[in-house]
A and B are shown apart, each in its own frame.
Chain A
Amino acid sequence: MEKLEILIVGTNKPIMETIARLIDRDEKWLATIAISLLDAKAICLQRGFGLILIGAGIENDEVEQLRNYLTENALKIPIVKHYGGGSGLLFAEIYQGLEAF
């Protein structure tokens, strides 16, 4: 079964690692961490992500930069802002992000 690849972008590495572990517990999902906008842009071109989650430390203008970058590179990947830093809202955010796209 092909897994849905989810990119998590945020500057708080320990929290990103927690979120990645939570995502990876679901056998249908696979998480990758980018701890800066620059990293996120680079890795987006290399892998087929189905969703991008924006964590703490990434500002709104950086989210817009990433959105524009995806458009310029013809990548249709939903971007969802993550809130809460753990399991509480994570799964609903992923489901909603995928449903809305």
Chain B
Amino acid sequence: MAQTVLHKANTRGVADHGWLKSYQSFSFAGYYNPERVNFGALRVLNDDIVTGGMGFGEHPHDNMEIISIPLEGNLQHKDSMGNTATIKAGEIQVMSAGTGIYHSEYNADAENPAKFLQIWLFPNKRNVTPRYDQILLNDADKRNEFVQILSPNADDAGVWIYQDAWFNLGKFNADVTKTYNLNKKGDGVYVFVLKGQVEVNGQLLDTRDGFGIWDTDNFDVKAITDAEFLLMEVPMEF
């Protein structure tokens, strides 16, 4: 029988630094909740809002797979590997921090806030050579399908990372139901609702709710309203 965990949106950690408001599904920086540290290999899910013209100054990372998904606005990226890029909604950015990188991320718009998801996964291999990638998600607007945006395989759809993880975006019309089949036995899926209401395994989820499900091979996702969501399949043991 499937096991589940529900994280309602209003139970997330909140950090307000003025220029940054961050809603944290798992313990991060000053927010520590021993009951909310990770979901399998998924360690960080921050729902960030960055004020216009502001951002994260240059800072280091190591040994972590870091995925950014812009939801609104543009982010200006620079890193110690020489990459300079702007990422916007409809794109996805990935960094394998490995032996160590420095980067900065600024809101490229001086006026309007940028909203993005910052997602960290434990890598399946420590001390890899750092790498950076970003791609346009050509199929992100497809409706009523699971659209894969991340996998462990370089030749598969979306970006790839050093972890046996698969991410899918969904943009469903109200009343559409689809079955998600897990890629690998022993994995779990963390569902994060971006917009609207969905029902997963009989559990009603509202905007920004998180819901983990594991010990199952598949589950149904039903859109109660027009809805957008992210499915993050990760190993529960790693």
Chains A and B belong together in one complex: yes
Interfacial chain B residues near A48, Cβ < 8 Å = none
Total A-B Cβ pairs within 8 A: 79
Instruction: Determine if A86 and B60 form an interchain contact, defined as CB atoms under 8 angstroms apart.
Output: yes
Q: Can you give 24 contacting A-B residue pairs, CB < 8 Å?
A: A11-B99, A12-B62, A12-B99, A12-B100, A56-B63, A56-B98, A56-B127, A81-B63, A81-B126, A83-B43, A83-B62, A83-B122, A83-B123, A84-B61, A84-B64, A85-B100, A86-B60, A86-B61, A88-B29, A88-B120, A92-B27, A92-B32, A92-B37, A96-B37
Count of chain A residues with a beta carbon within 8 Å of a chain B beta carbon: 26
Contact with B along A78-95 (1 / 0, CB 8 A): 000111111111011001
Q: Is the interface of B mostly helix, strand, loop or mixed?
A: loop
Say whether B44 faces chain A, with CB atoms less than 8 Å apart. Answer: yes
Within 8 A of B (CB), among A38-74: 55-60
Instruction: Determine if B29 and A57 form an interchain contact, defined as CB atoms under 8 angstroms apart.
Output: no
A85's contact among B30, B37, B63, B123, by CB below 8 Å, is which?
Answer: B63
Instruction: Select from chain B the residue with minimum beta-carbon distance to A14.
Output: B60
Say whether B167 faces chain A, with CB atoms less than 8 Å apart. Answer: no
Interfacial chain B residues near A56, Cβ < 8 Å = 62-63, 98-100, 126-127
